[in-house]
Each structure stands twice: as structure tokens, then as C-alpha cells.
């Protein structure tokens, strides 16, 4: 559209110039044909366009630069067997090797012994000191659960060396107001009151006819510290 307007303007200007000349001069000077004027106008427009294109600076084509991705360094492989391992311990802490008590056998009144109401008897357990420390005088053997059957806490009067066996005896009395199976659980504690070793039990049947059973000797210490 812009090119067409320029061409028309140039044509009109050419016509005005021709009409301004006198009639006598027109007879002397040959008149340009329409095709010649159009050709001159096209050449003028082409020259103007060339000059305009040369005046406009060329736009530089941006160059795309490829940025390399960072290289990930692989972690060193751990050899087999280097992962940390933990050894579970009983009771959530380190195993106490100082104070230990292992049940050996029932010397008297095995489990399920039948007794009469009001009967007095002495319960005796044979145990062994399997720790690395001696049981000092003042250690206590006391009830931790069940029926005491009239028994009282025993306080050691002498030390028990590591590896030695020891008989613990508690005097008891069967109640007169109860019948059936009664059970009491006892355990040793050190001077600070911390319990250790196997728990020992007494089980009697009052007024029954059950046959006494002897508790078997455990082949390994129980899970008590």
C-alpha cells in the first residue's frame, strides 16, 4: 500500500511539470510517454528503498551457548561388613556381670506341695553366685510379688564368693482363711536396693490333693540382670 501511494505521487508531480510548460515549448520538446514516467518513478522508489535499507543496521543473530551440566561425583561404595551393628541387651542397658544369681534347685517344699491351713514350714532354695562380685553382708532377699505366706525379708549376714553355692531359707506359715494354690516370688537385691539374678518362687496348695512337682534346674541363666 505504501509503495502504491509513492508511485501515484510521483506520477502526479510529473504531470504538473509537463502542464507548466508553454504550448510552443511542448511542440518543440517531445512529451514523455506514461510508460517512461512509470519506469522513472519505479527506479526512484527502488533507490529510496535501497538507501533506507542501508541506513538500518542489521540485527545480530543471538548466539546460543550450551552451558554444561555439573558432573555428579558418585559416593564411594562401602565394603561389605562395614555397616554398624548393635548387640541387643536385656533390660535396655549393658549386661551386669558383677552381681548375678542362678537358681539351682528346690531343697524343700517343691512347687505345688500340699500343706494344711495354718501349717508352718521352711522353704529353702539352692542358688549359685555366677557373677564376678561377692554378695556382701547386707544384701537382702525379699518378696517382689504374690503371697508372702508369712515370710519375712532375709538379710545376708556373711558374704557369698563368686562361684559359690548358697542355700536361702525362709520360714513360712500357710494361711487359715485361704484355700487353693498360693504363690510368692522372691528376689535378691544389693546394698543400693537394685534387684538382680533369677526370681525364685514358692508354690503351695492349701487343703488340696495335688502332687508336689519339683522345679527343674535351668540349664542357662534367665534374662534377669
Predicted confidence (pLDDT) per residue in 58-111, tens digit: 555 556 666 666 666 666 665 554 444 444 443 444 567 899 999 999 999 999
Answer whether residue 218 shows pLDDT above 90. no
88 inside domain: no
Same domain membership, residue 137 and residue 188: yes
149 inside domain: yes
Same domain membership, residue 47 and residue 103: no
Same domain membership, residue 116 and residue 200: yes
Question: How many domains, in total, are found in the chain?
Answer: 2
Same domain membership, residue 102 and residue 46: no
User: What CA–CA distances, in Å, run from 117 to 66, 100, 110, 208, 218?
Assistant: 100, 36, 18, 10, 31
25 inside domain: no
Mean pLDDT throughout 21-26?
45
User: Containing domain of residue 158, as a range?
Assistant: 97-206
202 inside domain: yes
Which tens digits make up the pLDDT trace of 160-205?
A: 999 999 999 999 999 999 999 999 999 999 999 999 999 999 999 9
Residue 163 in 3-state DSSP? coil
Same domain membership, residue 101 and residue 38: no
Same domain membership, residue 113 and residue 41: no
26 inside domain: no
Same domain membership, residue 197 and residue 126: yes
63 inside domain: no
- How far is residue 190's CA from residue 64's CA, in Å, rounded to a whole number? 83
Same domain membership, residue 101 and residue 196: yes
90 inside domain: no
* List of E strands, the chain: 102-106, 113-115, 120-128, 140-146, 154-155, 165-173, 180-189, 195-206
40 inside domain: yes
Total residues found in the chain within this entry: 225
Q: Do 45 and 3 form a contact (C-beta atoms < 8 A)?
A: yes
CATH number at residue 115: 2.60.40.10
Same domain membership, residue 110 and residue 199: yes
Amino acid at each position: 500500500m505504501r509503495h502504491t501511494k509513492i508511485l501515484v505521487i510521483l506520477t502526479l508531480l510529473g504531470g504538473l511539470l509537463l502542464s507548466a510548460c508553454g504550448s510552443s515549448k511542448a511542440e518543440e520538446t517531445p512529451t514523455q510517454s506514461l510508460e517512461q514516467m512509470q519506469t522513472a518513478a519505479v527506479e526512484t522508489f527502488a533507490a529510496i528503498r535501497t538507501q533506507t535499507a542501508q541506513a538500518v543496521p542489521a540485527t545480530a543473530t543471538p548466539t546460543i551457548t550450551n552451558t554444561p551440566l555439573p558432573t555428579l561425583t558418585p559416593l564411594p561404595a562401602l565394603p561389605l561388613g562395614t555397616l554398624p551393628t548393635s548387640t541387643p541387651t536385656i533390660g535396655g542397658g549393658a549386661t551386669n556381670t558383677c552381681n548375678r544369681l542362678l537358681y539351682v534347685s528346690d531343697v524343700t517344699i517343691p512347687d505345688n506341695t500340699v500343706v494344711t491351713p495354718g501349717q508352718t514350714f521352711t522353704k529353702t532354695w539352692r542358688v549359685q553366685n555366677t557373677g564376678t562380685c561377692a554378695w556382701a553382708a547386707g544384701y537382702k532377699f525379699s518378696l517382689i510379688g504374690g503371697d508372702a505366706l508369712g515370710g519375712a525379708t532375709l538379710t545376708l549376714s556373711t558374704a557369698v564368693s563368686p562361684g559359690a553355692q548358697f542355700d536361702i531359707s525362709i520360714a513360712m506359715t500357710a494361711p487359715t482363711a485361704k484355700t487353693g494354690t498360693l504363690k510368692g516370688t522372691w528376689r535378691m537385691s544389693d546394698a543400693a536396693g537394685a534387684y538382680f539374678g533369677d526370681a525364685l518362687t514358692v508354690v503351695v496348695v492349701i487343703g488340696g490333693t495335688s502332687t508336689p512337682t519339683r522345679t527343674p534346674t535351668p540349664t542357662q541363666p534367665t534374662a534377669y540382670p
